[in-house]
């Protein structure tokens, strides 16, 4: 019998095989055993009240079929979908709330182990909020910014602040269709209200509120999180690192930070180099302390410090199975509860750190930003103590790949003209000339129901071959990083001729790692800046750009897909549609949303079809903008991109500054 490939990543597959040999179960085995419920998978099950669950199957599967209360299939499917958006928005936004309170604590002098690292970004954000910053103490400005952003969560009327960063036309579309989010918590709360029994039954109306809630995520929670993280820990700029399981060291203490909230991870990075910590590790027989990351906490510390990543969601069990992880801290989101049980078969200590997220079988060391260094040291010492318990068991996989990460909005702007002439002009010109065909945001999770990471890799490779610039985030980035796709050399070897030229001129990889899942908000601000630059569309809608989440699994991915669709970007998700049961809901999310917003949300399991749809959207947008027809290798005239020598010239003239951009 032909062997089923569970992960498209060679090293991951080796560990899975080692696990099979040693009878160690992973998510891949459970995915094989537990097939999705065919009713719930397509949105055809309502369990909103206890008269049900009402299942729309068999003779009860028509659009007109009704649950006991009379709810139709489109009502049920759209209600289920709205609840997914609300949950995803809540996750990103509650993370953002934590960041905002940390900023407030830092500004008020209560969290003394942290500081404002990027003052320039603080001023930029203060500017968006019309908060005076000239001549004021930095901490006063930071306090005003924190208080104002915290207000965005509980605001009852008006609109959330960062919507004003979108192009005017994009904002007008939101107003016209009544989807301007008022306050983040209000939209999530209203979503839960509207979807409880006997409230909102109109699928289109329910889905419009879904878009409003999703906008509260993208232009609210996620954007707030990205900005505050940059202010506190620095706005990313390119950094060299490594990825895959080979980042773990046989002779050092391996401590992994996993989850999404970067505050503890940042402070662990800061104290792991302290001589006392290193001496402690040496006293336990190790040569030093080696930090690594997993999922989006990994992306945060990779982007800012070059801390290596062991990969995304489906790699978390496999990392433990190397036998080399002495401790793994988990904060929240995308943490498989399976790791606590799995860790018992090895020596790994799992440490939960958030008061919101505990796990039977794990050690809990609650993080408190007021005692940050003390807690970080406690965790590092626990990992060092456990080094001595390391056994021989484990796959001990050693391959790793180079990575260039750290592409923030600000850096991409800077690299196109230096600090004094930063702009998006060269990129717009390259798109206008057909040198770059368009852009794709390749985002979302990796998934054990497909050869994990394989869809990301296939699409990333095919897109760059077709001269499409790829902006990646989250586990999409991890999928590319762990096979060596995030290097400038990739452009030379694989990108189409136009994209290759652009990448070589600027010195960037053709796949730009933009950060964690909340950092999809960077793509929104980049698209807004490109609209403001001129020559393409004057709003986000109509740009030759597409979003793709080929292996999504999380409700957060659904919220992200919807805020892109509402902002004017066609989005294609892989896998089975969670609204497939209702033709009407599918029509609304594709045709109706496209008419209103020029964005849409498709679900398509076949990666070849995803690619074809994305290229088709890009080419049609080029045609509508009356841009030169894309033909590989045939370019029009355009401004020459600034090369490295010219940029260095500008830098020589620049004064020392805080932040690079
Ligand atoms: Fe059934 Fe209506 Fe209750 Fe849903 S809300 S479970 S359709 S009775
Ligand atoms: S970690 S949400 S699996 S991207 Fe952000 Fe990865 Fe998806 Fe979690």
Picking from 208, 233, 258, the residue at the C-terminal end of a domain is 233
Residues 513 and 559 placed together within one structural domain of the fold: yes
Atom of ligand 2 nearest to the CA of 553: 7
Output the CA 4–ligand 2 centroid distance in Å. Answer: 24
Q: Answer yes or no: is 647 within a domain.
A: no
Residue 192's CATH number: 1.20.1270.30
Domain contains 122: yes
Q: Given a cut of 60, is residue 638 above it in pLDDT?
A: no
Between 53-62, 107-116, 206-215, 580-589, the lowest mean confidence (pLDDT) is in 53-62
Using CA atoms, how far apart are residues 344 and 90, in angstroms rounded to an integer?
Answer: 32
**Pair (193, 260) in one structural domain:** no
658 CA distance to ligand 1 middle (Å): 57
Beta pairing partners, 543: none
In tens, the pLDDT along 115-132 reads 999 999 999 999 999 999
Residue list, ligand 2 pocket, CB within 6 Å: 260, 295-296, 312-313, 334, 444-445, 474-475, 516-517, 554, 556-557
- Whether residues 200 and 244 fall in one domain: no
- Cα(47) to centroid of ligand 2, in Å? 26
pLDDT value of residue 630:
93
The pLDDT, as a whole number, for residue 296 is 97
**Count of domains forming the chain:** 4
Tell how far the Cα of 296 is from the centroid of ligand 2, in angstroms: 6
In a domain, 302, yes or no: yes
Considering the domain architecture, whether residues 334 and 365 belong to the same structural domain is answered as yes
HEC sequence for 594-621:
HHHHCCEEEECCCHHHHHHHHHHHHHHH
pLDDT tens track for 181-220: 999 999 999 999 999 999 999 999 999 999 999 999 999 9
| pLDDT given at position 639 | 46
Tell me which of 233, 251, 270 is where a domain ends: 233
pLDDT band at 567 (very low <50, low <70, confident <90, very high): very high
pLDDT of residue 439: 98
Ligand 2 mutation pick, 92, 297, 312, max ligand atoms within 8 A of CB? 312
268 with 309, same domain: the answer is yes
54 is a domain residue: yes
Residue 646 lies in a domain: no
For residue 329, CA distances in Å to 33, 230, 370 come to 29, 22, 19
504 in the same domain as 455: yes
For residue 122, give its domain range. Answer: 73-233
Mean pLDDT for the stretch of residues 18-36? 95
Q: Which residue's CA is the nearest one to ligand 1's atom 2?
A: 69
Together in a domain, 59 and 79: no
Please list, in sequence order, all residues whose beta carbon lies within 8 angstroms of the beta carbon of residue 67, skipping any fewer than 6 positions away: 46, 51, 52, 54, 56, 76
For the chain, the farthest-separated pair of C-alpha atoms sits apart, in whole angstroms, at 75
Asked if residue 565 and residue 431 are part of one domain, the reply reads yes
Q: Which of 328, 362, 387 is the C-terminal boundary of a domain? A: 387
Q: What is the mean pLDDT of residues 239-254?
A: 96
CA-nearest residue for atom 7, ligand 2, is 445
Report the alpha-carbon distance of residue 93 to residue 97 in Å, rounded: 6
Which atom, in ligand 2's list, is nearest to the CA of 446? 3
Does some domain include residue 400?
no
pLDDT at 62: 85
Question: Between these two residues, 3 and 180, which has the higher pLDDT value?
Answer: 180
Does residue 19 surpass a pLDDT of 60?
Answer: yes
Percent of the chain with pLDDT over 70: 95
Kindly tell me the burial class for residue 570, based on how many C-beta atoms sit within 10 Å of its own C-beta (0-12, 13-18, 19 or more).
Answer: buried
Q: What percent of the chain has pLDDT over 90?
A: 89
Closest ligand 2 atom to residue 478 Cα is: 6
**Selection from 625, 611, 610, 473 nearest residue 543 by Cα:** 625
3-state SS class at 322: coil
Residue 258, helix vs strand vs coil: strand
Same domain (yes/no): 528, 582: yes
Mean per-residue pLDDT, 348-364: 97
pLDDT in the model for residue 386: 98
* Confidence (pLDDT) at 654: 36
If asked whether residues 526 and 619 sit together in one domain, one would say: yes
Same domain for 350 and 322: yes
Least confident of 326-340, 417-431, 606-620: 417-431
Residues with CB under 6 A from ligand 1: 46-49, 51-54, 67-69, 71, 76, 197
Mean model confidence pLDDT for the chain: 94
pLDDT at residue 618 is higher than 60: yes
- Atom of ligand 2 minimally distant from the CA of 295: 1
Q: Could you read off the pLDDT of 407-417 as tens digits, one per residue?
A: 999 999 998 87
* 333 inside domain: yes
Q: Indicate which atom in ligand 2 lies nearest the CA of residue 552.
A: 7
364 within a domain of the structure (yes/no): yes
44 Cα to the center of ligand 1, angstroms: 11
Are 59 and 88 within one domain? no
Residue 371 belongs to domain with CATH number: 3.40.50.2030
Mean pLDDT along residues 370-383 = 97
Please compute the mean of the pLDDT values over residues 94-106 and round it to a whole number: 98
């Amino acid at each position: 019998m032909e062997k089923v490939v569970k992960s498209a990543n060679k090293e991951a597959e080796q560990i899975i095989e080692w696990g099979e040999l040693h009878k160690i179960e992973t998510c891949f085995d459970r995915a094989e055993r537990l097939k999705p419920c065919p009713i719930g998978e397509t949105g055809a099950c309502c369990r909103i009240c206890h008269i049900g669950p009402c299942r729309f199957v068999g003779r009860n599967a028509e659009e007109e079929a009704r649950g006991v209360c009379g709810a139709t299939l489109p009502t049920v499917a759209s209600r289920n979908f709205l609840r997914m958006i609300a949950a995803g928005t809540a996750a990103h936004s509650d993370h953002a709330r934590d960041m905002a309170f940390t900023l407030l604590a830092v500004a008020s002098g209560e969290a003394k182990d942290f500081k404002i690292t990027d003052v320039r970004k603080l001023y930029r954000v203060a500017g968006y909020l019309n908060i005076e910053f000239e001549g004021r103490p930095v901490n006063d400005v930071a306090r005003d910014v924190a208080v104002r952003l915290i207000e965005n969560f509980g605001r009852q009327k008006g609109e959330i602040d960062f919507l004003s960063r979108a192009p005017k036309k994009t904002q007008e579309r939101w107003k016209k269709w009544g989807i301007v989010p008022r306050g983040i918590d209000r939209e999530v709360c209203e979503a839960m209200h509207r979807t409880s029994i006997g409230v909102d039954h109109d699928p289109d109306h329910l889905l419009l509120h879904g878009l409003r809630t999703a906008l509260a995520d993208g232009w609210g929670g996620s954007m707030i999180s990205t900005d505050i993280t940059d202010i506190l820990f620095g706005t990313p700029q390119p950094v060299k690192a490594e990825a895959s399981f080979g980042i773990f060291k046989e002779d050092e203490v391996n401590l992994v930070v996993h989850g999404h909230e970067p505050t503890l991870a940042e402070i662990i990075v800061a104290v792991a180099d302290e001589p006392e910590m290193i001496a402690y590790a040496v006293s336990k027989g190790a040569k030093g302390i080696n930090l690594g990351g997993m999922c989006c906490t990994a992306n945060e510390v990779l982007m800012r410090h070059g801390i290596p990543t062991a990969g995304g969601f489906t790699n978390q069990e496999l990392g433990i199975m190397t036998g080399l992880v002495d401790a793994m801290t988990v904060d929240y989101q995308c943490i498989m509860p399976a790791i606590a049980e799995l860790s018992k078969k090895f020596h790994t200590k799992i440490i939960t750190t958030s008061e919101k997220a505990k796990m039977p079988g794990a050690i809990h060391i609650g993080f408190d930003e007021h005692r940050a260094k003390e807690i970080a040291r406690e965790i590092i010492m626990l990992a060092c103590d456990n080094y001595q318990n390391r056994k021989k068991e484990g796959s001990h996989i050693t391959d790793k790949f180079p990575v260039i990460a750290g592409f923030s909005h600000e850096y991409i702007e800077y690299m196109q003209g230096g600090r004094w002439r930063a702009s998006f002009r060269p990129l717009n010109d390259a798109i206008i000339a057909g040198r770059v065909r368009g852009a794709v945001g390749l985002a979302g999770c990796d998934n054990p129901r497909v050869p994990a990471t394989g869809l990301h890799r296939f699409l990333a490779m095919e897109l760059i071959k077709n001269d499409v610039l790829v902006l990646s985030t989250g586990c999409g980035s991890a999928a590319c990083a762990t096979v060596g796709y995030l290097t400038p050399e990739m452009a030379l070897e694989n990108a189409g001729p136009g994209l290759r030229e652009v990448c070589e001129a600027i010195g960037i990889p053709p796949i730009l790692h933009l950060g964690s899942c909340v950092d999809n908000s960077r793509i929104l601000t980049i698209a807004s800046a490109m609209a403001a630059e001129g020559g393409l569309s004057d709003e986000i809608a109509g740009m030759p750009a597409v979003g793709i989440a080929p292996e999504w699994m999380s409700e957060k991915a659904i919220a992200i897909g919807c805020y892109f669709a509402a902002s004017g970007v066609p989005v294609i998700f892989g896998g089975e549609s969670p609204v497939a049961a209702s033709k009407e809901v599918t029509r609304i999310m594709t045709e109706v949303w496209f008419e209103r917003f020029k964005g849409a949300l498709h679900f398509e399991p076949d990666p070849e079809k995803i690619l074809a749809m994305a290229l088709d959207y890009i080419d049609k947008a080029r045609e509508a903008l009356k841009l030169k027809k894309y033909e590989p290798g045939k370019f029009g005239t355009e401004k020459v991109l600034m090369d490295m020598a010219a940029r260095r010239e500008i830098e020589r003239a620049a004064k020392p500054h805080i932040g690079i951009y």
